[in-house]
Structure 1
């Protein structure tokens, strides 16, 4: 397997991680926070049970999409890779475009 194949395999793994709506909601919530956020704040804002949020944060952390910091017995999270959310923005724009039934813009390449 050459380096390009390895990169493509990693890309596929990250797309699989991003195939979960709860994970995308967490990333978007963290995107608009100025500081690290406690798990209980994510739970409160997204109205999703704490065990579910914690499990999804663990997966996002494993793939370096979020990072955490412990302060005492509290854990705080922040985006580790904001450009991934920009990629999700592009997909959301694609979906909105498809829903409206608009033709795709001409390829600029």
Structure 2
């Protein structure tokens, strides 16, 4: 992969992470592990369609994966590198506070 291609991929990564609701979802999944859409909705207070749309975007970029069991859809973090980014962000923000 060329340097320019790496830069473009980094820009896409930060664009996905540029939405506060998606970051909330990732922080929630990081803390609570695999969760249903309804539990994410209850915790974040956003509507189900809004949460589902954001989960769809996170899934499109392989940040999360989904698993269906009966009537429930479960989401979890799919990319352990994202966990490291979330941890680094948390640590950085703690230092700023």
User: What range is the shorter-chain TM-score in?
Assistant: 0.7 to 0.9
User: Helix, strand or coil for the counterpart of 2:26?
Assistant: helix
Specify the alignment match of 1:13 in structure 2: 12
CA RMSD of aligned residues (A): 1.8
Specify the alignment match of 1:27 in structure 2: 26
Give how far 1:4 is off.
2.4
Q: Rg: which structure is higher?
A: 1
- 1:38-68 CA deviation, whole Å, 9 max, x = no partner? 1001000111111110000000001110000
- 1:11-50 CA deviation, whole Å, 9 max, x = no partner? 110100001010001001001224x211001000111111
Separation in structure 2 between the aligned mates of residue 47 and residue 82 of structure 1, nearest angstrom: 26
Uncovered stretches (5+) of structure 2, i.e. residues with no partner? none
Give how far 1:96 is off.
4.5
Give how far 1:82 is off.
3.1
Is the helix fraction higher in 1 or 2? 2
**Comparing 66-75 with 52-61, which one deviates more in the overlay?**
66-75
**Equivalent residue runs for 1:29-108 within 5 Å:** 29-34=28-33, 36-98=34-96
